[in-house]
Structure formats: structure tokens, C-alpha cells
Amino acid sequence: MPLLVAKGITKRFGGLVAVRDLDLEIEPRSIVSVIGPNGAGKTTLFNCIAGWYRIDAGEIAFEGQMISKLRRDQIARLGIGRTYQNIRLFAGMSVVDNVLVGRHHFLQAGWIASVMRTRGVQEEERKAHDEAVRLLRFVGLEGGVQSQASKLPYGDQRRLEIARALATEPKLLMLDEPTAGMNPAETHRMTEFIGRLRDELGITILLIEHHMRVVMGISERITVLDYGEKIAEGAPREIQANPRVIEAYLGRGAATAHHSTRPQPDPGTGEAPAP
Amino acid sequence: MTVSPNSDVQIDWRSAVRTGLIGAAVALFVCVVGIVPVFHQRALIKDIISLGQTVLVLTALGIGARGARAARATGARSLLPAMLAAGIAGGALTALILVGQVINLRGVFLNASPDLYDLLTFGLGASGAWIPLVSFAAIGTLGGPVASLPTAFRRPITTAVLTLLLAALFAGIFRSAMLTTPLAATARVLFAPVGLTVIGAIALVIAFAGGRELLAYTHVRQRVSALPRVQRRVVLWPIYGVLALAVLVMPQTLGPFVAQVVALVALYVLLGLGLNITLGLAGLLDLGFVAFFAVGAYTVGLLTSTAEYGIADWPFWAAVIPAVLLAMVFGAILGLPILGIRGDYLAIATLGFGEIIRVLAGSDLLKPFLGGPRGILNIPKPIDVPPDHILAGPNQIYYIALICAALIAFVAWRLRASRLGRAWLSIREDEDVAEALGVNLVQTKLLAYMLGAAFAGLGGAIFAGLIGSIFSSSIQLQVSINVVAIVVVGGMGSIPGAVLGAVFLIGVPELFREFSEYRFLFYGMALIAMMLYRPEGLIPTRFATRELHLDATQTGGEALLPPTEAG
């Protein structure tokens, strides 16, 4: 049974249809990528799944449960975690506190017990703290856990955002352009790391990514969006050969002129050219 | 003689003139609005200089310094632009005096009187109209070089001026407090009834400016913080002990008026700590805080009053608990519908609720129950003691408010470090992301709102005990605004900040009742200065400081690093 099933979801903003009648199925323990030109509706799709937007039509089921009417925190508790295209850390809080916010709903302490700092609360806090530090080490953040989150270098902020999402113990992790702004070496490390998330933690990954090398390298399935509609779906090899995908990325003329070429990544940036 | 790198830069005379014109506006303002005449009633140093004259001297110095800086001139080259800027300002005062001889300005500016002209001309009146021009220019000329002095010279001057100003302002209070103690003789030497004596001024400047320089040169601070933890405690705990003792004996030694003021300050500390949870931690701007204060005060009034409208004749303490609980319930009732809205809109909605409660309390509708403007009288004192007892009058409220504030500070401190404190901070930072991490926004915000309401209710209950009665006119928007200002000025989320904020914004204005006409003027000036120069608050939380002063700490850290490689 698929982990996530979306059927016919549509999201409109006024007259603009950002996502139109979209179907999506994600198998457990798979890595699925969503690609498409800028403005194709990729992040909107994430926001629909995670409960940031109410969808106008269709249904989303996670492990057989309808989630399209739930609040963000309820969806997070069911096991859907995410990161953001523009990093959204709690900039004024410490590194470890960022991760601990992700543990919030696993902790029980009420306000009276917290003021009393009972034995149970102390134990719970200590465990949560150890768990947070373990996660930080797992994502490769060594350094001081008490330093301010916004003082971290860019790449580490991306890692911290992933650690924070992992703290909610997600079954499905949605990564929105995790390698944006990274150099080739960092991108390579991040790609490997995404693989480890699936292989070691068994987490299903839904990925938005512009680096075609990353997408083609680690995805089992790829969904291609253009103007809010799914124009192709399949294994990387099929996608690379699909004329509609080439057309969406390079324009109709290019598609007919080089109908046999694949959307090759730009050697300079590793990024597929935008239309 | 070394040529400073700036010396080939042209002096910017136009900027100096512009500064002079702004300074002229400031000088005219402080004179005709009446700040200078009112402050002239008080001496800085007895028979030598009044506070009003001090205001003028500091204005002239400031204009000179700003003028020199605006003209981008330093050292000896700064003398002329400084003189020009201050001279323009002084000239404006001269012009004021001359115009005042011809046209009667008092119809518009009450303070533009012969008294003011005498003050500005040392009693010479119109024939001394040249005096402000010349004296401003002379004093202002000094301002230029002072501003470009290195810190090592400027710091003791600043300390000395601040010491003199504060000591002179508080002289009366210090003097009357010390007269009842064995220090009476010292008090007479140092302080005049208003202002300082010459000896006092010299002694205090040497003690404070000298002491500060001594501390700076011997690096006491750095040495103490470099000590291992145990030894640092040995040094610091006696200091804390002395401070705690001072806080405890303060109302006893400083007389009933000051006791009343410090009791009010303690009450506002309590309210500030309460709002610090709602606004400081969770970031919910609540402008209707006074509503819960009212609920607490009226509950205590109704349950304890022995006069009309009292319904139960309970003792004070028995009524405090229902007062706090009822305030919490009101917090929940008011909070539930409005916590979904954000930021500015939440502020408007809470402002509305605060006003509704205020209007209701004074309304004819509830008059049969709450007494309307006549209020509820005869609320018993929390602890019943004979009038000469150590705990009589405002003293007991001070101690009760102090204990409650300490309690709330403890609660706030524990909560801050808990999972709830983290959830509140995350909501303040980015509530969308917090919710997407599994934080239930409604539940978490409501708890912050209810706890803040409970502490406001406690504050209201104590206030009712302090005054002994509760009127609808005590429930004012001003209370809410004061508390918000305390939290913001002290530092959002900072517990010692709330204490200092209450001392500055409530205590200091209360002590200077004679200047109360200008209270909001100074309030506004202080708030603008805070937002410009210290937006993180007086005692900011750890990360707020780092955020805003990172450059300084970084360069400091590098300078301390030993050289790692020799040549």
C-alpha cells in the first residue's frame, strides 16, 4: 500500500490554478522527486500535503487516513516532516532548542510540572536533549549545540533544518531544494546524506530539486509538473527521454530540433536551464 | 606635530550651520516649554549652578559636539565649527529675549516671561541679551574637542556628569533617609536640602568617576569572570547579599513617600513579569492587560469589602485565590476567539477588550454591583497590624508585591527553560513553522495568555489591597501601556529587564512629581532613544545581545588571542 496517495488535488489562488487535478502516489521507503520549471506548482504541492494550504478539490491520504482537512500540527504528528526553500530556522534560538521544538509533542510536561521541575520532567528533558544531540551529530553538525542558530554557516543551517524535521520522527520527509546555493562538493555530500536518510532511518523522501544530477542520481520515481499539471511520471530514464518534459524545459522549438537530446544539466551550475 | 589623516578633508560648514539651526530649535524648545525654568528651582550644586542652568550647559556642549562631528572636524580644527553651531543656538535665545521685549509672547508661551529672561542673562534682563549668544558659543566651543577625545578621557567626564545629575536629583531623598541614621552628619556635608554641596559634588565625582576608572584599569570585571566558578561565587555572593539587604530595608529607611513609590514599582515588576510571558516569550502583543488586572482587583473588592457592594467579607488572602483563578478564566474566554489572529491585529483586538472591561466597570449597567465611579471601599489590608508596626502601610504591600514578584520570576524562569518556553519562543520566531513541527498553536498560545492573565489578576488583587479601594478610574489604558513599555524597554523575555524597566518607567517618574507636567515628554524621549540606540532592551536576553553587538565581541575575541606563530 502506498504511504501517500493524492487524488485529483487542485489549488487555486484567485484565478490562477497553481495545482490542477494532480494524482500522486508515494511508495514507502522510496525517494520521489518533483521537478518542473519555476512556478510549476512544486512548492504549492508541498504546502497542500503539509496542510499549509486547504486544497480546493481532491483528497490526500497518508497511511490510509484523510489528511486534507487537518491542521499542520496534526499532520506533523502523523509523520510528515518538511524543510523550506528559504531556510526557516528559529533564528534567535539555540541550535539544540531548534531541534527540541521538533520533539515538543513527544514530551508530556504540563506547566505546573515544568515549574516544579519534577523528577519525571528532568528525566524527559534529559532524554530529549540527548536525542537532539544525537540527531545533530547524525546530520553532521559537530560544534556547539548552544550557539545561536542564525550564526551557523549556510550549509549547516540546511542540515539543522533537516535535524529539526527528523526530530518529529517523520515517515515522509519533504525536502524543498535541499542543495540550493551549495557548491558541487556540498551538493554531493547532501545527495549521499539523503540516501542515508532512506537507507538507515527508513524514511520516505519527497524531493523538490533543480540539480538534475541529484535528481537523476537518487530518485526512484520522478514527477514532472508544468503550469500546475503533471506532464510526466516515471523512472529517471523514462523522464529523460520524454519529449513533453524536454519541451517544458527548453520550449517547443528545442524539443523538435533536438528531439533525441535529454535535458542535460548545465555543466556550470548543474542546473537544468529554466525556460 | 603629526598630521591627522582627516586634516586635508574640507570642514563642512553647511552641516555645522544646519546642526546649529536644529540646536536653536532645541534650545528655544527647552526654554519656552518650561523645562529650564522648572529645573531652575532645583540646584545641582547649591549656590553655584541650578539644574536648569545645567540643562542649558549640556545643551550647548551637545550642540557643539554634534556641530563639530557634522562638520567632520576633529581636534583643534573642531573649535570653530563647534563655536558656530552653538553660537547659532545661543543667538536664537538672544533673539528670543529681544523679541520678548517688544512683543508679549506670554499669550502663547506661558514660560516666555521676564523670569526666563533673567535666568538666561544672570538677572540683567534685556541689557544682557548678548549673554546666551556668548556663553553658548564659549561652552559649545569646548564641546567640539570633548567629542573627539579618546574614550579613556571621555568616559570619566561622562561618569562625572551622570553622577552629579543623579545625585542632585535624588539628593533630597538620600538626605532625608540618612538623617535618621548615624550617617546624619555625612548627609549634611554632602547634600543640601535641594541639590549637592560643593564638597558633596567633589567627593561624589571622585568616588564614582574615580572608582569606575579604577575598576576599568584593574580589569576587575574580566578577572572576576575569568575566575573558576566556586571562587567567582565567593566574590559575587556578598555583593548580591548587600543588594538583597538594600532591597529589603529600602521602604523602612526612605520614609513613607518613597515606600509608597517602591511598593508601586514592585507591583509593576509583578505585572511586567506577567506580561513577559505573554509578550516576551510567546510574542503575543496584549494591549488589554489591564482587563485582567481589573478582574483581580474587583474580585478581591467584592469578596472582602466591609462596605457597600461587598458580598462575602472574606479575609484578603482567601479572596486572592478566586481572583487569580477568575482572571485566568477571563483570559481563556477572551483569548479563545482572538488568538487565531496575529501581530498588529491581535494588539487591536486586545486593546478593544481592555476598553470594554474598563467601560463596563464604570458603567451604569454594573453600578448596582461594582459601584461605578464611586467604587468599592473598605478593602481590608492583607495583614492587620497596628499603625506603628514595621509592616504597616505601604511597607507591607511592598513586601507582599516583592514576594509575589519573586515567585513569578521563579515561575517564568522555570517555564522559559521548559518545553513550553521553547514552544512559546518558537511561536514568537515563526508560528507557521512551529505549527508544522507539531506545536498546537491554540493550546500553547492560550496557556501563555492565561498565565499572563493570572499574574495580572494577582497584581490587581494586590493593588486593591494597597489602595484599600477600587474605582473604575483605576482601570486605565495607561496601565496596559506602562506594562508593555516595561517589557520592551527592559528587554523582551528578560526577567531582570522587567525589574529595571519598572524602576525606570514607574519609579523614577513618581519620584519627580514636580516635573510631572513633562512626564510624557521624557517618556517619549526615553522610548525613542531606546529604540534608536538599544533596541534589544536594557538587559537583553543572551541572543538578542549577540545579534546586535556581534562585531564588538568578535574583534575583542581576536585581540585576546595570543600570537600563534613567531616571525
Residues of A in contact with B437 (CB under 8 A): 73, 76, 81, 101-102, 104, 164-165, 167-168
Has residue A256 got a pLDDT over 70? no
Mean pLDDT of chain B: 85
pLDDT confidence of residue A261: 44
pLDDT confidence of residue B234: 84
Residue A209 DSSP code:
-
Say if the Cβ atoms of A114 and B418 lie within 8 Å: yes
Residues of A in contact with B410 (CB under 8 A): 115
Q: What is the pLDDT of residues A118-135, one digit of tens each?
A: 999 999 999 999 999 999
In chain A, % of residues over pLDDT 70: 91
Has residue A51 got a pLDDT over 50? yes
Average confidence (pLDDT) over B283-301: 93
pLDDT confidence of residue B8: 56
pLDDT confidence of residue B258: 82
Has residue B224 got a pLDDT over 90? no
CA nearest to A166 within chain B: B437
Q: What is the pLDDT of residues B513-528, one digit of tens each?
A: 777 778 788 878 888 8
> Of A47-56, B35-44, B324-333, where does mean pLDDT reach its minimum?
B35-44
CA nearest to B550 within chain A: A151
Extents of the domains making up chain B = 13-149, 164-247, 255-556
**Cβ contacts of residue A10 below 8 Å, gap of 6+?**
A17, A19, A20, A21, A22, A55, A56, A57, A58
Q: What is the pLDDT of residues B187-218, one digit of tens each?
A: 888 888 778 888 888 898 898 888 888 888 88
pLDDT confidence of residue A254: 58
Q: What is the pLDDT of residues B5-19, one digit of tens each?
A: 455 568 889 999 999
Element (H, E) at A221: strand A221-226
**Which of B232-241, B287-296, B306-315 is most confident?**
B287-296
pLDDT confidence of residue B557: 34
Report the residue from A52, A73, A90 with minimal CB separation from B438: A73
DSSP string of A80-109? EEE--SS----TTSBHHHHHHHHHGGG---
- Specify the residue for cell string 534560538: A93
Pairwise CA distance, residues B239 & B224, whole Å: 13
Say if the Cβ atoms of A76 and B438 lie within 8 Å: yes
What's the maximum distance between 2 C-alpha atoms anywhere in chain B? 89
- Of residues B121 and A49, the one with the higher pLDDT is A49
pLDDT confidence of residue B548: 52
Pairwise CA distance, residues B407 & B409, whole Å: 5
**ipTM of the modeled complex:** 0.90
Confidence of residue B2 (pLDDT cuts 50, 70, 90): very low
Confidence of residue A271 (pLDDT cuts 50, 70, 90): very low
Confidence of residue A267 (pLDDT cuts 50, 70, 90): very low
Identify whether the C-beta of residue A61 lies closer than 8 Å to the C-beta of residue A5.
Answer: yes
- Given its phi and psi angles, is residue B537 left (phi above 0), alpha (psi -120 to 50 degrees) or beta? left
Interface of A with B (CB under 8 A): 50-52, 71-73, 75-77, 81-82, 84, 88, 90-94, 97, 100-105, 107, 109, 111, 114-117, 121, 125, 128, 148, 150-151, 164-165, 167-168
List the Cα angle B185/B188/B189 in 5-degree steps.
Answer: 90
Q: What is the pLDDT of residues B319-369, one digit of tens each?
A: 999 999 999 999 999 889 888 888 789 899 999 998 999 899 888 888 888
Phi then psi for residue B45, to 5 deg, are: -120, 125
Identify whether the C-beta of residue B135 lies closer than 8 Å to the C-beta of residue B60.
Answer: yes
Q: Is B446 on the interface with A (CB under 8 A)?
A: no
pLDDT confidence of residue B397: 83
pLDDT confidence of residue A259: 46
Average confidence (pLDDT) over B209-235: 82
| CA distance to partner chain A, nearest, from residue B445 (Å) | 13
Q: What is the pLDDT of residues A138-170, one digit of tens each?
A: 999 977 889 999 999 998 999 999 999 999 999
Has residue A255 got a pLDDT over 60? no
User: Between the CA of residue B236 and those of B10, B231, B232, B531, what are the distances in Å?
Assistant: 52, 9, 6, 32
| CA distance to partner chain A, nearest, from residue B137 (Å) | 48
Has residue B558 got a pLDDT over 70? no
Q: What is the pLDDT of residues A178-195, one digit of tens each?
A: 999 899 999 999 999 999
pLDDT confidence of residue B226: 80
- Counting one residue from chain A and one from chain B, the pairs whose CB atoms sit within 8 A come to 105
Q: What is the pLDDT of residues A64-104, one digit of tens each?
A: 999 999 999 999 999 999 999 999 999 989 999 999 999 99
**Cβ contacts of residue B133 below 8 Å, gap of 6+?**
B87, B90, B91, B93, B94
CB atoms within 10 A of CB B108: 8
All 3 cell numbers of residue B84?
A: 558656530
pLDDT confidence of residue A253: 59
Identify whether the C-beta of residue B258 lies closer than 8 Å to the C-beta of residue B180.
Answer: no
pLDDT confidence of residue B135: 92
Average confidence (pLDDT) over B165-194: 82
The SS3 of residue A114 is helix
Q: Is B409 on the interface with A (CB under 8 A)?
A: no
| CA distance to partner chain B, nearest, from residue A77 (Å) | 6
| CA distance to partner chain A, nearest, from residue B245 (Å) | 27
